[in-house]
């Protein structure tokens, strides 16, 4: 919800986005007529909704979204959101999340099922952490691991674990990946992909 929508409705009522209409129950809210034909219309395909959103937002405001801490766009009821969320081995920003081994440690186990279980657990904990936050933008949660407070580990956009190759152990994010020697021969089915692999671009 954008700040401009806060206080529009009395407590325990739902504000219909893009309007000043209030509903007392969730069933009526999901049928909010003003959403039909907009990017918030859940009956439309995803591509159509994205096209509607892009058409409704001026390019200058679209550009403001290209940062970690993206501001709200009130005209389309798009709330602020902080995309910075590095969950290398568990959810940051809360003492209640599980701390897993770093990616290269899990990779050394050669256990695909274990890797999947860890990723699924991090995803569930990230979602549950996000769900209980009063401020869903992710701007109210902070970590001071860098010496200054930054909002990291607050949203549901996870930058890590990731699947990049570690081509140089000095790379600062090497601990986030499962690890794989770049010299290991890959035999992809797609010949174009094979070319990218051979050129070191994939």
Q: What is the pLDDT of residues 51-105, one digit of tens each?
A: 999 999 999 999 999 988 888 898 888 888 888 787 888 887 777 889 998 888 8
What totals of helices (H) and strands (E) does the chain contain, helices first? 6, 4
What CA–CA distance (Å, rounded) separates 99 from 151?
Answer: 19
Encoding tokens for residue 152? 């990291």
pLDDT tens-digit series, residues 147-176:
666 667 677 888 776 777 777 778 777 777
* pTM score, whole prediction: 0.67
Task: Please check the confidence at residue 41 and state whether its pLDDT lies above 80.
Answer: yes
| Nearest C-alpha neighbor of 158 from the set 82, 85, 98, 80 | 85
pLDDT score at 182: 59
Q: Is the pLDDT of residue 2 over 80?
A: no
pLDDT digits (tens, 9 = 90+) for 9-30: 888 888 888 777 888 888 887 7
């Amino acid at each position: 919800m954008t700040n401009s929508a806060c206080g529009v409705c009395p407590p325990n009522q739902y504000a219909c986005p893009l309007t000043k209409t209030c509903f007392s129950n969730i069933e009526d809210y999901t049928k909010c007529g003003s959403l039909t034909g907009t990017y918030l219309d859940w009956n439309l395909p995803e591509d159509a909704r994205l096209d509607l959103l892009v058409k409704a937002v001026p390019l200058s405001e679209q550009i403001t979204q290209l940062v970690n801490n993206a501001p709200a766009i009130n005209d389309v009821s798009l709330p602020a959101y902080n995309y910075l969320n590095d969950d290398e081995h568990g959810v940051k920003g809360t003492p209640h999340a599980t701390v897993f081994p770093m990616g290269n440690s899990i990779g050394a186990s050669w256990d695909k099922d274990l890797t999947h279980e860890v990723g699924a657990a991090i995803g569930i904990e990230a979602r549950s952490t996000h769900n209980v936050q009063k401020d869903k933008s992710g701007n109210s949660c902070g970590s001071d691991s860098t010496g200054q407070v930054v909002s990291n580990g607050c949203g549901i956009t996870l930058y890590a674990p990731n699947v990049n190759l570690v081509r140089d152990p000095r790379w600062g994010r090497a601990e986030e990946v499962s690890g794989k020697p770049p010299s290991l021969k890959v035999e992809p089915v797609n010949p174009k992909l094979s070319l990218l692999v051979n050129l070191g671009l994939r």
